[in-house]
Structure 1
Amino acid sequence: MSSLLITQPHGLEHVTPPGHPESADRLRRLNKVFALPQFADIDRKEAACAGLEFALEVHPKAYIDQLKTLRPVEGMSQIDGDTYISKESLGAVMTAMGAGLDALDEVLAERNQNAFCAIRPPGHHAEREAPMGFCLVNTIAIVARIAQQKGLERIAIVDFDVHHGNGTQDIFYHDKNVLYASTHQMPLFPGTGAKNETGAGNIFNAPLREGTDGTDMKQAYKEVILPAINNFNPDIILVSAGFDADYRDPLAGLNWVPNDFAWITGKLMDIAGKRCDDRIISLLEGGYDLDGLGQGVAAHLSMLAHGVSGPAIDHIRFDQEEHFG
């Protein structure tokens, strides 16, 4: 199994206020995870820079120009209640896009079967003309549009972030060639993601009540998400990989454990193996408890790289003091 890990040093330079949950500490924690010996054999790259013109695939020029105007010369500017832009934020946006597009090229060229992009800021809340929820541009939507331009006819986007990806749904709501499938806590920010939001028959939402653990999550995937992807017969699977459904996360109330993320990953890999030559590209979204984020990503990446699931994942050392202190 050939996996690619793309890291983003420039992502550390996107600044948010002290105490903000979406901070550079998230990538710092993941860099510790990636240094663990069980990930030493994974192919690695640093994120390249993609021009802001790629953002025009899903956002109008006036919106991108607005972000340029909002970017401060020094410090940071507040866009809404929880979304900020700093001097280096657009650089982080461009390397986040670069990571996703490079992953797409590598997977399509069959140099790797799958890829995980450890990037920030996240993107799935960014609508066509509105930044929100820590997100400035919708990175996964841009990757999907470029995938279409490269000849892929059916793009499946699976979102297991605890918050519904309203931006991604908004962008593809009427595009029958892009499937969007999401599990998320409801009610919770941003308030979208009801079952009756179905788009052109391409939107599949499976909202979960507060307190839902892995058992009910798996039922939702077996009944809604996995059949939808199978029936869609995708050419590639893109994943909005948020790890804030972890039981420790401060911004939500689901009760998943790291192996739940491994289980989802394994099920998506099963479909990818049957439907689209194993092609999966995963982009980091949320996850705001550093231990939960680190352990969830370790479980997800271990499955992508080594096919480790269930009890077998116990060999991964998740000790907080030893590896994540």
Structure 2
Amino acid sequence: MLPYTVTSSCGEHKESAILKHGFFAPSFVQDSNLLKTELEMKRTDKAMVSQVSTSNSSTAIGFDERMLLHSEVEMKSHPHPERPDRLRAIAASLATAGIFPGRCYPIPAREITKEELEMVHSPENIQAVEVTSNVISCYFTPDTYANKHSAQAARLAAGLCADLASEIVSGRAKNGFALVRPPGHHAGVKQAMGFCLHNNAAVSALAAQAAGAKKVLIVDWDVHHGNGTQEIFEQNKSVLYISLHRHEFGRFYPGTGAADEVGTMGAEGYCVNVPWSQSGVGDNDYIFAFKQVVLPIASAFAPDLTIISAGFDAARGDPLGMCDVTPTGYAQMTQLLNTVSGGKLLVILEGGYNLRSISSSATAVIKVLLGESPECDLDDHLPSRAGMKTVLDVLAIQKNFWPVLESSFSKLQSLLEIFATERRGKVKPCKQRRRAVVAPICWQWGRKRLLYHLLKGQIRVRSKGC
């Protein structure tokens, strides 16, 4: 298991008050009166909407404090990235903004049944999670822990997600956000891994179909590929799985999710992977991929419900994802998906390990669910060349299954050739290409990493997690 670190630059130190006010909290210690004034200013323009009766709200929230009891028992020098503070920070942000409680309504929590789980996981896998209730601490993998409360937390998370899906499909809620943990998209048929115990998105998709949805779309924007979700549905044509993730040609955890992984046994084309080739991917690349790949395929598929596996570890400042998506970027992606399924949209929390990033990003997404528009439009920005190349590679494969992509592929292919020609004309030949430098694993975290960066140039880091 790699050592994890939470730095003060994330604003997560105790004095930041981030667990009381979420991302609204100042980065450093401030006078209490100044903090109070700042928070009141942020609430001013929300004062009226905060008084909306929950009975009139159309956005449901799934949350239960018992999920906070799932934590790593073993004391280590650095806290585990998947820790209870993730939910506390988001809840604090929503409360400070007057969103929840206030503008959204809660659904009653229940534990998922064994029969429902058996539609997704093997009996042996379910039993392996259940037996952790009888131990103080254990590990499924070196980075996937459990304590005596973990099995119940996983059942509550899956139950909340299933009920939210049913609420939305039945029309009792327009949309919803599942503020749950442990996350789920790495959990496959036979194993728990990558911080995940039960696959919440998969359980939700099947609950939606039981409630009347014929086709379900799952869009996974967690920075890690949802190998568990793909495995569960790779032979299913009624559930379309689309994932955008760091891949780096299989070198980024969990190593799956290449563009040519498209589904099997007659369901080819119903797995769509957008595998970024490098770190640092930001808003422009994600929005570009959404418009060129995600939305055309989603429209052709015409789902009855859209589920977002919403990991926020591709957010700016996340220590594991090391990408550059902003809250506005997440809000824009949510708004684009809001046009699919008639607005029937369920957002399920997956990863995200910088408390400021996860709380600000989740708040921005929920504001879109409530009908607010993103702060600014990202339409005029172009993707990086690497991002465009990734999208083009995906189109070249998926156009064989989705003819609607053919015209986009031809246009982008011509555009990339123009870029390549211009690049050859501008770049001067160099005497010798400098070899890429890879940091020793013991230097991948902590202060030595910064020193190595200054001395040797860019470091490529492998990260694990949800």
Q: State the TM-score, normalized to the length of structure 1.
A: 0.90
Tell me the residue number matched to 2:334. 265
Deviation at 1:74, TM superposition (A): 4.3
1:192 counterpart letter in structure 2 = T
> Could you tell me whether the CA contact under 8 Å between 2:82 and 2:353 is conserved in 1?
yes
Cα displacement string for residues 206-250 of structure 1 (whole angstroms, at most 9, x for unaligned residues): 112311111111111111111111110001101101100011001
Task: Look up the match of 1:37.
Answer: 97
1:246 to 295, 309, 315: 315
1:202 corresponds, among 253, 266, 270, to: 270
CA contact (8 A) 1:13 1:88 kept: yes
Residue 290 (1) aligns with residue 355 (2): yes
Q: 1:36 to 1:46 in 2, by over 3 A?
A: farther
Offset at residue 108 of structure 1 (A):
2.4
Q: CA RMSD in A?
A: 1.5
Of 204, 220, 224, 2:293 maps to 224
Q: CA deviation at 1:165?
A: 0.4
What secondary structure sits across from 2:107 in the alignment? strand
User: Which residue of structure 2 lines up, in the alignment, with residue 14 of structure 1?
Assistant: 70
Q: Which residue of 2 aligns with 1:149?
A: 210
User: Distance between the aligned counterparts of 1:271 and 1:237, measured in 2?
Assistant: 7
Match of 1:114 among 175, 181, 197: 175
Alignment partner of 1:27 is 2:87: yes
Given candidates 62, 79, 101, the residue that maps to 2:140 is 79
- Candidates 129, 133, 145, aligned match of 1:67: 129
Greater shift, 1-10 or 110-119, is seen at: 1-10
Q: Which has the higher strand share?
A: 1
Counterpart Cα distance in 2 of 1:124 and 1:42: 25
- The CA deviation at 1:46 is 4.6
Query: Secondary structure of 2:103's match?
Result: coil
Q: Give the aligned length.
A: 307
Letter paired with 1:302: K
Instruction: Indicate the SS of the match to 2:134.
Output: coil
1:94 positional shift: 1.0
Q: Is 2:59 the partner of 1:3?
A: yes
Q: Is it true that 1:101 corresponds to 2:162 in the alignment?
A: yes
Distance 2:170 2:304 in 1: 14
**Alpha-carbon offset, residue 61 of structure 1:** 1.0
| Counterparts of 1:73 and 1:158, CA distance in 2 | 35
Q: Are 2:169 and 2:305, in contact at CA under 8 Å, matched by a contact in 1?
A: no
Q: Give aligned-pair identity as a percent.
A: 36
Q: Where does residue 166 of structure 1 map in the other structure?
A: 227
Q: State the 1:97 CA deviation.
A: 1.3
Structure 2 stretches of 5 or more lacking a match? Answer: 1-56, 378-466
Equivalent-residue separation in structure 1 for 2:197 and 2:223 (angstroms): 19
Higher relative contact order (CA 8 A, sep 6+): 1
Which segments of 5 or more consecutive residues in structure 1 lack a partner in the other structure? Answer: 313-325
1:72 Cα shift? 5.2
User: Which residue of structure 2 lines up, in the alignment, with residue 51 of structure 1?
Assistant: 113
Structure-2 residue corresponding to 1:323: none
Displacement of 1:308 in angstroms is 2.2
Q: Which residue of 1 aligns with 2:367?
A: 302
Q: Of the candidates 178, 181, 185, which is equivalent to residue 124 of structure 1?
A: 185
**d(CA) in 2 for partners of 1:151, 1:44:** 23
Maintained 8 Å contact 2:302/2:341: no
Q: Kindly provide the CA deviation profile for residues 275-320 of structure 1, in whole angstroms up to 9, marking residues without a partner as x.
A: xxx21111110000000000010111111112321339xxxxxxxx
